[in-house]
A = this chain, B = another copy of it.
Amino acid sequence: MTTQKCDIGRIPRIMCELCSIFEEYASADGDGKTLTKAELKNLVEKEMCPMLKEAKNSSRVDDLMSAMDHDGNAKVDFQEFATTIIAFTCICHESMKE
C-alpha cells in the first residue's frame, strides 16, 4: 500500500500520526498522557499486530512494557513510546539490509 505524497511532505504526516496513535490509546483512561499496561496491550493488538501476535500472552506485554518504561513508573509516556518504536524501526532497517 503506497501512501500518497501530500504537500506537507511525508515526514510531518508520520510525526502527526505517531502523536495521534499514542493519544488515541493513552486516552482510554482519560489521562491521554501515558499508556497503562492495558492501554499498551490494546495498542499492540490493534496497531502492531504482525510484530507481536502473541500480545494476548500477558508476559509478552510485560516484556514490552519493561522495554518501553524507561523510568519504571509502570506507565509509558510519549517519549518512551516513540524511542522504542524507533529502536524497532532501526532493527527492522538493519535486517532489511542483510
Q: A interface vs B, CB < 8 Å?
A: 1, 3, 6-19, 21-22, 33, 46-51, 78-79, 82-83, 85-86, 88-90, 92-93, 96-97
Contact = CB atoms under 8 A, between A and B. Distances in A.
Given A15-B92, A17-B3, A47 B10 contact: yes
Nearest to A97: B33
B19 A1 contact: no
Given A1-B13, A3-B3, A16-B92, 4 more contacts: A10-B17, A15-B92, A19-B93, A85-B86
Nearest to A45: B9
Given A1-B6, A47-B9, A17 B14 contact: yes
